[in-house]
Amino acid sequence: MSPLRRPLRAVLAGAAVLALVTTGSITAPAAARPADRTEPPAYSAQLDRAQPEDAAFLAAKECSEEPRDLPIHQFTDHRELGIELDRIERVSGGTVDVEQVGRSNRGREIWSARVGTGRKAVLITSEIHGNEKTGTDAILDLLSWLGTSESAKAKRWREALTIVAIPKMNPDGAELDRRGNDLTWQEVTARYPQLRGSQPAWNYYTGTRQGDDYSTRPGFDVNRDYNPDLTYTPRREDFPGSSDQPGWYITPESKVVRDVYRGLAAEFGEVDTYVDLHHQGACYVMPDDPDEFVTLSISGKFVSDPATTPGLEKYAPKYDLDYSKRLNVAVYNALQGKANDRPIFGNVTLYPQDLHLPGTGLGSFALNGSGTVLFEVRGQTQSLGQKYRAVLTRAVYIGLDGMLSAVASGRVNQLDPAAYDAIPPRGPNIGTGDDADAQRSRITLLEN
């Protein structure tokens, strides 16, 4: 077995031994125990009942996008993630198979969790931006339920689907609670000598972004480092690039996801569905009700039609926008179905559709034939912190549940892609700050 594919239990055992050597006693389990939480897990229907705080969540009287230092301890950190994945694998009796599939630039483990034996492969990733955290908690609750439930639905999923999740795929950024990873241009050129003397990539952060100062610890927006050519090797003439051009796989984090995707494509012939879990600004409102905030936005469109886009024509035969639209309709319908009991779940909009981002994971994998789904949950940690963590995580869970059920049953193919175009567009951002207009502009540039 490759060192990068060791079972998680061996990794954690090694960490415990290290703790014994350095401290004289094995203290890691107690120190690494996930934070105590009073709310139920995201798979619990208890979270579908309206709560007193919902009124404050929905009311759009005022909102700030100014970066702040807010509590985030209720979210799962990297060490807690390892502990929880080990627990899930153990209590599932191996139904959930957890493996280390790589390491971040700073050496933190990147894990995948696989469950199911079905013919349709579904890949789900979270925290490519380290300040966008609800997706990781939703994935953990999904794996926990799917690994132990003997319900007819769980059995149907496991028989029809092979679900592979990579939670917290940018652990360095997550530990720093910032968007970008922790990687210098000098480290990139040391690994890729052919890039020496070229300009740094356009998505290299060395200044201030979302209140974080990258000047002493630079990093990259990993979600601009993908390329639809899954065998691409970085070339000097392709730098610095731009947002409407493919990326380069120069970050270890994007390469890990690319390699997992390639492995699934080789095994199954294609990756049926790819889902990436993100956050957006905290102050977007509904287009038809500017007094209510958006709970989340979704999308299946990230690139222009490859058939008419120079350089992307070869991807046109595999590109299936209608399937991506159907997947998103399944997400939308599931959330609307819960809105009668808790209206907060009904505030779902379509993410902007005028994007051409072939350097994102969603754009690159869509061009390789996968149906794609973007979740953009309300509020990043610098604008909302852990406030509303439980309900936002539940919203992600409901959307994933609806989509996976539709794929497993085949009902997704009966959904009308035209219903996607009828999803309301996202309303304006009403956020305030020292310079509200500039702040809103930065949010638009940074999202996704």
Amino acid occupying residue 243? S
Rounded average pLDDT over 226-238:
98
Read off the pLDDT band of 441 (50, 70, 90).
very low
Percent of the chain with pLDDT over 70: 88
Question: What HEC string does 234-300 produce?
Answer: CCHHHCCCCCCCCCCCCCHHHHHHHHHHHHHHHHHCCCCEEEEEEEECCCEECCCCCCEECCEEEEC
What is the rounded distance in angstroms from the CA atom of residue 68 to the CA atom of residue 57?
A: 18
Check whether 8 has a pLDDT greater than 90. Answer: no
Read off the pLDDT band of 320 (50, 70, 90).
very high
Rounded average pLDDT over 309-328:
98
Check whether 85 has a pLDDT greater than 80. Answer: yes
Structure tokens at 239: 């730098």
Average pLDDT, the chain: 91
Predicted local distance difference test score (pLDDT) of residue 206: 98
Rg (CA), the chain: 21
Residue 244 CA: distances (Å) to CA of 117, 128, 364: 37, 19, 12
CATH of 32-446, one of 3.60.15.10, 3.30.420.40, 3.50.50.100, 3.40.630.10: 3.40.630.10
**How confident is the model over 396-433, as pLDDT tens digits?**
999 999 999 999 999 999 999 999 999 999 999 999 86
Do 356 and 224 touch, CB atoms closer than 8 A?
Answer: no
Do 300 and 325 touch, CB atoms closer than 8 A?
Answer: yes
For 3, other C-beta atoms within 10 Å of its C-beta total 7
Predicted local distance difference test score (pLDDT) of residue 80: 98
367's CB contacts (< 8 A; 6+ apart) are 228, 303, 306, 312, 315, 318, 319, 358
3-state secondary structure of 147: helix
Half-sphere exposure of 342 (CA within 13 A, CB side): 22
**How confident is the model over 194-210, as pLDDT tens digits?**
999 999 999 999 999 99
Q: At which residue do the structure tokens 């309301």 appear?
A: 424
Predicted local distance difference test score (pLDDT) of residue 447: 58
Per the DSSP assignment, residues forming a β-bridge with 299 are 374
Predicted local distance difference test score (pLDDT) of residue 37: 62
Half-sphere exposure of 331 (CA within 13 A, CB side): 32
Q: Whose CA is closest to 217, among 190, 243, 256, 186?
A: 186
3-state secondary structure of 387: coil
What is the rounded distance in angstroms from the CA atom of residue 129 to the CA atom of residue 178?
A: 7
Predicted local distance difference test score (pLDDT) of residue 19: 37
Do 378 and 320 touch, CB atoms closer than 8 A?
Answer: no
**How confident is the model over 117-175, as pLDDT tens digits?**
999 999 999 999 999 999 999 999 999 999 999 999 999 999 999 999 999 999 999 99
Half-sphere exposure of 150 (CA within 13 A, CB side): 1
Rounded average pLDDT over 302-312:
97
Do 122 and 404 touch, CB atoms closer than 8 A?
Answer: yes
**How confident is the model over 57-66, as pLDDT tens digits?**
988 888 999 9
What is the rounded distance in angstroms from the CA atom of residue 96 to the CA atom of residue 153?
A: 16
What is the rounded distance in angstroms from the CA atom of residue 72 to the CA atom of residue 130?
A: 12
Rounded average pLDDT over 91-114:
98
Check whether 223 has a pLDDT greater than 90. Answer: yes
What is the rounded distance in angstroms from the CA atom of residue 432 to the CA atom of residue 292?
A: 16
Give the strand pairing for 219-220 and 204-205.
antiparallel
Check whether 259 has a pLDDT greater than 50. Answer: yes
Check whether 251 has a pLDDT greater than 50. Answer: yes
DSSP 8-state class, residue 72: -
For 124, phi then psi, to 5°, come to -125, 130
Amino acid occupying residue 411? R
Q: Which contiguous run of DSSP H or E holds residue 118?
A: none
**E-only strand ranges, 333-437:** 348-350, 371-378
Q: How many residues does the chain have?
A: 448
Predicted local distance difference test score (pLDDT) of residue 10: 46
Do 172 and 256 touch, CB atoms closer than 8 A?
Answer: no
Check whether 13 has a pLDDT greater than 60. Answer: no
Predicted local distance difference test score (pLDDT) of residue 238: 97
Better-predicted residue by pLDDT, 58 or 231: 231
Per the DSSP assignment, residues forming a β-bridge with 212 are 209
Predicted local distance difference test score (pLDDT) of residue 36: 54
